[in-house]
Structure 1
Amino acid sequence: MAKNAIVGQSGGPTSVINASLAGVFESCKSRGAGKVYGMLHGVAGLLERRVCVLDDKLHGALDIELLKRTPSSYLGSCRYKLPDWHTPEGEAVYQKLFAILQELEIGYFFYIGGNDSMDTIGKLADYGAHIGSEIRFMGVPKTIDNDLMVTDHTPGYGSAAKYIGVVMKEIIRDATVYGTKYVTIVEIMGRNAGWLTSAAALAKAEDCEGVDMICLPEVPFNVDHFVEKVERMQKAKPSIVIAVSEGVKLEDGRYVCELADDVHAVDAFGHKALTGTARFLANTVARRLDTKTRCIELSTLQRCAGHLTSRTDITEAYQVGGAAAKAAFEGHTGEMVALDRISNAPYQCGTSLHPICEVANLEKKVPLEWVNADHTAMTQDFIDYAMPLIQAELTPIYVEGLPHHIYLPEA
């Protein structure tokens, strides 16, 4: 009797995470899986036996195409940290999970997510090996932050970078209409890695002068020096547009946003919620310089803009989902699929497998050699890296002028 498969989505969603889900589903079915279950809200939902049978939800090619073009997590997501299974209390959680997987006759387990999700896969694979389970656990990469190790880039990043490049061009056009002194500070996601903020550099082209300053978490931030740079820049041009990572830090390690009065909650993984960086900096500049300011926080728009999905990104998201299923059916477990760039011109990318220990709880930062000496712009090396990832579009299926999505009401 054929074993069943189960797949979940975890962490922050992207505009192409459902393409990876489609890749896992179709690849599992083509390889003879019995049923393909979906976890509703990841491992947290699985612990509550909240699952659906994807075979009953996805009916034919049109549903698969809608799934690929629907942003956010079709199955729902979670930020649940599995405990250490070496303690009695922790092992009880794993015993419950594996009992549920046994009830569902699961042979293949897939988790689509970023660093924390790979931590989940690593723990489950380790415990499975400890008890002699035959279930194969595979990680499918996803994160707009692009901070996963071993992979050239992560599915989700290309579309988010495309959105940022497009929006920055539009903000620059809007910011220059009056010809008066103005400082616009745009806050972009990125806790410890500045890949998304770096994408603001893509706005510069023959039809756009580009942003005036890019501030990354990789470079220690000094508020006084920042204000001095703005003052110097405004002597050359009145309207300044700046892209700043939400996670820029002072030399002492504190996030700049902590200088404001905002309350920053902490999630299950100990990550402090970051917000207010652009607002704090805009207020600081307005107090110290004779200029108007405004702050713009792109927030979740960066990860759910399905109307600006990169075709390259959505194709690779589907590809890594299929590759994970193929690997699991071939006997692999405790691994993640990575994307390997073969060439830039023409752009070509393949896949490879890596042990979860090379990925989980690690972060890939923007190389400092890709930042100019003044720490205000990205070099051509970054442009060459990012530009292939934003190419082409996959137009949504429009109904009555609006994009049509597929969704699970219970998720």
Structure 2
Amino acid sequence: MNNLKGTCIIGQSGGPTAVINASAYGAIKTALESPNITRVLGAAHGIVGVLNDILYDMGEEDPEELALLLNTPSSELGSCRYKLKDPEQNDSEYRKILEIFQKYDVRYFFYNGGNDSMDTCSKISRFMSKSGYDCRVIGIPKTIDNDLAGTDHCPGFGSAAKYIATSLMEIYKDSTVYDIGTITIVETMGRHAGWLAGSAGIAAAFGSGPDLVYLPEVSFNLDTFLLDCERLYRQNGKVLAVVSEGIKDKDGVFISEYGAKKNNRVDSFGHMQLGGLAAALAEVVKERTGAKVRGIELSLLQRCAAHIASQTDITEAFEAGKAAVEAAVSGQTGKMVAFKREDIDGKYAFRTILIPLEDAANHEKKVPLEWINENGNGVTQAFIDYALPLIQGEPDKALCSSLPRFAKLKKIRVSG
């Protein structure tokens, strides 16, 4: 039945982005305006907040403050990296979630996150259905990595790509200041998919970017990399290279993982925590060339740089949250909101669609090999054409003393 009435819970999960709060605002605003949703709750730190019964009443927030979520980075409700157990082996956590849902008459559950979050969403949806409890579950996509399957792109990627491209243009200008030769190696995020590293190619397309870009979709050969650096250094007196944290050797072993395994850097989902690659490669290049070499890790700035966010990304993130609520109220469940790219009179456009949660959960979308150049050290025009529309537009941000004014929610906790 489409006229299901009850409470909704909105949660955020995984790594934050510059626009995940825009999705939260889209969902919260639409839910507050829906006659089918009697109460709007925010989960503190995602599914962990549900399990611990720590929920905030979004109806108690000032509308003007909620609106500031559009331009507020990070995950305002709090995030988590908590992996639910397999319900077929141990359903205790799911029974606890059901208990909380029954306590607050939760009939709508919206979860905003990436691959692992969609897996969480899918498990909850199946358990509720199996239990006979009427609760509609919709996933809202989010990831700067842009690796969610089933959608043309993900909210968060456009802003991260814009930050990376802009940063590389600025680093490029800085590298030309002195007459002493320099080699700069910049590391981006991206475990298995090279969308973020490839975004540096946007800067190169405009004449002020990296000479070399290495993505995890193509095996990384250290000797070839060193030869590339030496050749360009002799030719130009400077080299600017970009590497994804997830580049692998021919045996499929992460270059960063050598150190990660040694130091046992593993997250709660069992993923190796990569990073530090640029500095390590810089040492090797310095030994080989004798040049002045600097390693730069963009790190968290890629996902929180709201000051240079893409307005297109913000708008689409909001629409994803809005579409999730509208879909659930209309009777949909077990789905994730996705984007379909369209061309209207030669201009970029998009529309939201729904795909089964199973199609997105634990699947990864990688950069097509035909979008990577023959040498495996750059991207083609097809990649640029894909990414460029997603970084467009400058947001109208609220300021205070010329600094960004971010949302400050009261986060009033509810009780049963």
Same fold flag (TM > 0.5): yes
Instruction: Report the TM-score, using the length of structure 2 for normalisation.
Output: 0.95
Q: 1:82: Cα distance to partner?
A: 0.7
Equivalent positions of 1:387-398 (< 5 A) are 387-398=388-399
Give unmatched runs, 5+ long, in structure 2. Answer: none
Which digits, 9 at most, give the CA deviation of each residue in 1:29-67, with x for residues without a partner? 22211110000000012111111001112x22x223311
- After superposition, give the CA deviation of every residue in 1:226-258 in whole Å (9 maximum; x if it has no partner): 101111111210111111001111111221123
Q: 2:227 is matched with which residue?
A: 228
- The match for 2:401 is 400
What secondary structure, in the 3-state scheme, does the structure 1 residue paired with 2:263 have?
Answer: coil
In structure 1, distance between residues paired with 2:52 and 2:154: 30
Q: Distance in 2 between matches of 1:320 and 1:72?
A: 17
The answer (yes or no) to whether the contact 1:110–1:139 under 8 Å persists in 2 is yes
- The one-letter amino acid of 2:84's match is L
Residues in 2 aligned to 1:254 and 1:219: alpha-carbon distance in whole angstroms: 12
Are positions 1:347 and 2:351 aligned together?
no
Gaps of 5+ in 1: none
Separation in structure 2 between the aligned mates of residue 264 and residue 185 of structure 1, nearest angstrom: 25
User: Aligned partners of 1:398, 1:219: CA distance in 2, in Å?
Assistant: 43
Partner of 2:257: 258
* Superposition map of 1:81-96 within 5 A: 81-87=83-89, 90-96=90-96
One-letter amino acid of the structure 1 residue matched with residue 377 of structure 2: T
What is the CA-CA distance between 1:86 and the residue it aligns to?
A: 1.2
Query: Residues of 2 paired with 1:356 and 1:11: CA distance?
Result: 16
- Matching residue of 2:29: 26
8 Å CA contact 2:161–2:391 kept in 1: the answer is: yes
Aligned to 2:337: 337
Do the aligned partners of 1:257 and 1:276 also contact (CA within 8 Å) in 2? yes
| Superposition map of 1:87-236 within 5 A | 87=89, 90-206=90-206, 208-236=207-235
For the 8 Å contact 1:179–1:239, the answer to whether it is kept is: no
Deviation at 1:290, TM superposition (A): 2.2
Whichever residue aligns with residue 140 of structure 2, its letter is: V
Q: Equivalent residue for 1:279?
A: 279
Letter in 1 for 2:356: P
2:13 and 2:79 in contact (8 A); partners too: yes
C-alpha distance in 2 between matches for 1:260 and 1:362: 26
Q: 67, 71, 74: which is aligned to 1:72?
A: 74
Q: Which amino acid aligns with 2:73?
A: P
Q: Tell me how far apart the structure 2 counterparts of residues 161 and 264 of structure 1 sit (CA, whole Å).
A: 30
CA distance in 2, matches of 1:215, 1:170: 19
Q: Distance in 1 between matches of 2:294 and 2:139?
A: 41
Letter of the 2:42 partner, please give it: G
Q: Which amino acid aligns with 2:408?
A: Y
Does structure 1 retain, via aligned residues, the 8 Å contact 2:372–2:378? yes
Q: What SS does the aligned partner of 1:265 have? A: coil
- RMSD (Å), alpha carbons: 1.5
Question: What is the DSSP-based 3-state SS (H/G/I as helix, E as strand, rest coil) of the residue aligned with 2:225?
Answer: helix
- Per-residue Cα deviation, 1:197-254 (whole angstroms, up to 9, x for no partner): 0000111355x34210001011111111110111111121011111100111111122
Aligned length: 406
Secondary structure, in 3 states, of the residue corresponding to 1:86? coil
- Assess if the C-alpha contact under 8 Å between 1:307 and 1:395 holds in 2: no
The 8 Å contact of residues 204 and 211 in structure 2, kept in 1 or not, is answered as no
Measure how far apart 1:388 and its partner are: 0.3
Q: After TM superposition, list the pairs within 5 Å mapping 1:28-47 onto structure 2.
A: 28-32=31-35, 33-47=37-51
SS of aligned partner of 1:68: helix
Report if the CA contact (8 A) 1:306-1:396 is conserved. Answer: no
Match of 2:387 in 1: 386
Letter in 2 for 1:12: G
Provide closer, same or farther for how the CA distance between residues 66 and 43 of structure 1 changes in structure 2, counting only shifts above 3 A: same
Secondary structure at the counterpart of residue 24 of structure 1:
helix
Decide whether the 8 Å contact of 2:118 with 2:360 is kept in 1. yes
Identity of aligned residues (%): 46
1:401 Cα deviation from its structure 2 partner = 1.8
> What per-residue deviation string (whole Å, max 9, x for no partner) do you get for residues 92-145 of structure 1?
111111100110111100000000000001000111111111000000000000
CA contact (8 A) 2:66 2:407 kept: no
Larger CA deviation: 318-327 vs 175-184: 175-184
SS at match of 1:78: coil
CA distance in 2, matches of 1:407, 1:274: 32
Q: Structure 1: which amino acid aligns with 2:241?
A: I
Which amino acid letter does the alignment assign opposite residue 29 of structure 1?
L
For 1:34, what is the secondary structure of its paired residue? strand
Measure the CA separation in 1 of the matches of 2:411 and 2:326.
29
Output the CA distance in 1 between the equivalents of 2:91 and 2:234.
63
Do 1:260 and 1:280's aligned partners in 2 also have CA atoms closer than 8 Å?
no
In the TM superposition, what whole-angstrom CA distance separates every residue of 1:283-305 from its partner, at most 9, and x where no partner exists?
00001112110010000000001
Contact 2:31 2:325 survives alignment (8 Å)? yes
Deviations 1:154-209 (A, max 9, x none): 00000000000110000000011113221100000000000000000111355x34
Does residue 63 of the first structure (1) align with residue 62 of the second (2)? no
SS of 1:369's equivalent?
helix
Partner of 1:17: 20
1:374 Cα shift? 1.1
Offset, 1:260 = 4.3
Secondary structure of residue in 2 paired with 1:394? coil
